Homo-oligomer: A and B are copies of this chain.
C-alpha cells in the first residue's frame, strides 16, 4: 500500500485544505491501484474459518452405538421420542450456560430459529395466556444498538415497532430500558446479546444485569430475549469476561418468567450442524413445550448425542474453545493492530477492543459508513452493509461498520484491512474537504 506515511499522524480535523487535498491525491492513487488488482476478499460474515471447523471433525466419526443407541432415559436416540431433548444434552448445555438442566430444552440446529418461533408463537398464541400479539394494535421491541441484524429482521418481519436503545460500555442504556419497559404496555420484548455482544463485543456489567432482573414491566407478557450466543467464546487473551447469571438475579426478584435464554453450538462445533437450546423458568418451558408438541415430534437426538460424547463436559467445551481462540485471536489482533496504527491516531475511527465474540465494531466519521463500504466493494472487499447493525438498517449517523475477521485467512484478512484503511481515510478526507 502506498500513500501512507507522508502525513505524520496529524488528525484529519487539524489539517488545512491544502494538506487534505494532498492526502486525497495519494489515497486516490492507491485506491486506483487496489481496484486494478481485482481482489475478492470478504470481511462481512460471522462464520468460522475451515480450520476452526476441522477442530470438530472427529465428532462426525464418533461411535454412537456403544450403548446400543440408548440414551440415559432408556430411549433409542435413532427413534421418535423425548420432545425436550436428551437429558445428557441438557447437562452439556447446562455446563455451557450455567443453568439447571431442568430449565433447559434442546431444539434443532439453530438458536435463531428458536427465537423466531418464540416471536411467532407470541403472535399467534400469546405468552402464557396473554392475548396473542397479532390481535394487538401495537407491539414494540427495544433494540440495543448497534446490534444483530437477524434479530432486528425477525421483529421487522412481524411488523413490530423497533425502538433504538443506545449501547454503552456497560450494555444498553438502562435508564431508557427501564423507562420504556416499566411504563409502556406495548413494549413486549428486548433483544440482548449480553456477552461479547454482536457487533461491539461488550459484556453487560453486573449492574446492568441486576437492573434487567429488577425490571417491573407494564406488560405481563414482556420478555427479555437473552441471546447468549458467545457465552464461552473468549479470545483467551487473558481478559476473559464474566457475565452475571441473569436467571439467578431474576429468581431473587421473583421475575424469573421474564427472561428467555438462548444459545447454540453453532460456533463451537458446526454452524448448521450444531445443537441449539432455550433456557427459561419452568412455567415458560411448560408453555413452550405445550405449543411445540404441535410443531414436531422431536428434534435430532442423534446429533445431540454426538455433541455429548464429543465435548463430554465443561472442561471439554473450554479446551475446545481455547483451540478456536488460538486460530482466531491472531486475526482479531491483526485487524486491531492496523486500526490502531493507521486510523485511530488520525481521529477518524473509534472502536472498543473485544475480548471475545466474532466481531469488531467501528465508528467512522459521521456520514461516511455507507461510502466506506461502497468503496471497499469497489476495491474487491465485501463488508457487512452499513446500517445492518441498526433497526430497519437505518444508522441515522451513518457511522457504524461491523468487521468480521474470522472467515478469511490471516493473509487475506491483512490485505482486506489495508484496503479498508484506505477507504476509511479516503471517505474521511473527502468529508473534511466538503
Contacts and interface: CB of A to CB of B under 8 A. Distances in A.
A338 interface: no
Contacts of A237: none
Contacts of A112: 295-297
Interface string A123-141: 1110000001011000000
A80 B296 contact: no
A285 B297 CA distance: 24
Contact of A120 (B48, B77, B109, B124): B124
Given A296-B110, A300-B303, A302-B270, A79 B53 contact: yes
Nearest to A65: B57
Interface stretch (A153-161, A163-171, A349-357, A424-432): A153-161
A158 B134 CA distance: 12
A311 to B, nearest CB: 16
A37 to B, nearest CB: 23
Given A294-B157, A297-B272, A302-B270, A76 B57 contact: no
User: Which 10 A-B pairs give the minimum distances between C-beta atoms?
Assistant: A273-B302, A80-B271, A113-B296, A116-B295, A134-B134, A53-B78, A157-B294, A110-B296, A78-B270, A109-B300
Copies in the complex: 2
7 contacts: A78-B271, A79-B271, A108-B109, A109-B300, A112-B295, A116-B294, A153-B293
A247 to B, nearest CB: 25
Contacts of A125: 157
B79 A48 contact: yes
Contacts of A270: 78-79, 302
A396 B144 CA distance: 54
Most chain B CB atoms below 10 A, which of A69, A80, A134: A80
A36 interface: no
Nearest to A57: B65
Contacts of A153: 293-294
Given A47-B79, A108-B109, A109-B108, A158 B124 contact: yes
A64 interface: yes
Contacts of A60: 64-65, 302
A302 B124 contact: no
Contacts of A13: none
Contact of A78 (B78, B80, B272, B294): B272
Most chain B CB atoms below 10 A, which of A69, A110, A273: A273
A112 B157 CA distance: 23
A45 B154 CA distance: 37
Contacts of A150: 294, 297
A266 to B, nearest CB: 8
Given A50-B69, A134-B135, 18 more contacts: A50-B78, A53-B78, A56-B78, A57-B65, A79-B272, A80-B266, A109-B300, A113-B295, A113-B296, A116-B294, A116-B296, A154-B294, A271-B298, A272-B299, A272-B301, A273-B302, A300-B303, A303-B303
